[in-house]
């Protein structure tokens, strides 16, 4: 399972993303929420550009995720919540696997309030999971 991210690593990333967003948006308020998303909720998540990766590497990682699910793998994804919009920050392959399998998936949610301007990540939205996959 060398390609899988652990819950501990994801927690560290969540803290880094929180600190980063606090610096970018100093007047904003942030709240942490933990939630399990069902298939319908996953479909409504705004998928963002995942970064450069070969198709082969992505397929290998998604195959490993699918196999690990049988053994209880469920490292949370990270979402940013602005208003009613949930935007994917991390966990692109995990969320795609959960969507395609029709299973619930856990999420760490960074809820932001007090920001009226468009957040930088909003410019990377490709569409909703249900419309893309």
Please report, for the chain, the start and end positions of each structural domain, with discontinuous segments joined by +.
Answer: 7-132
The reported pLDDT for the residue numbered 2 is: 60
This prediction's pTM: 0.94
pLDDT digits (tens, 9 = 90+) for 67-83: 999 999 999 999 999 99
Question: pLDDT class for 1, splitting at 50, 70, 90?
Answer: very low
pLDDT digits (tens, 9 = 90+) for 8-58: 999 999 999 999 999 999 999 999 999 999 999 999 999 999 888 777 788
pLDDT digits (tens, 9 = 90+) for 85-116: 999 999 999 999 999 999 999 999 999 999 98
Would you put residue 48 in left (φ > 0), alpha (ψ -120 to 50) or beta? beta
Domain 7-132 -> CATH class: alpha beta
Buried b (16+ CB within 10 A) or exposed e, 94-128: bbbbbbeeeeebbbbbbebeebeeebebeebeeeb
The reported pLDDT for the residue numbered 30 is: 98
């Amino acid at each position: 399972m060398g390609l899988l991210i652990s819950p501990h690593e994801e927690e560290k990333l969540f803290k880094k993303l929180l600190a980063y967003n606090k610096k970018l948006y100093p007047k904003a308020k942030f709240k942490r929420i933990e939630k399990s998303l069902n298939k319908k909720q996953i479909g409504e998540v705004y998928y963002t550009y995942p970064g450069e990766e070969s198709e082969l590497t992505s397929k290998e990682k998604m195959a490993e995720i699918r196999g690990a699910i049988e053994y209880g793998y469920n490292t949370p994804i990270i979402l940013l919540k602005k208003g009613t919009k949930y935007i994917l920050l991390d966990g692109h392959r995990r969320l795609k696997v959960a969507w395609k399998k029709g299973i619930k998936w856990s999420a760490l949610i960074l809820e932001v309030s007090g920001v009226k301007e468009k957040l930088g990540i909003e410019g990377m939205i490709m569409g909703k999971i249900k419309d893309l996959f």
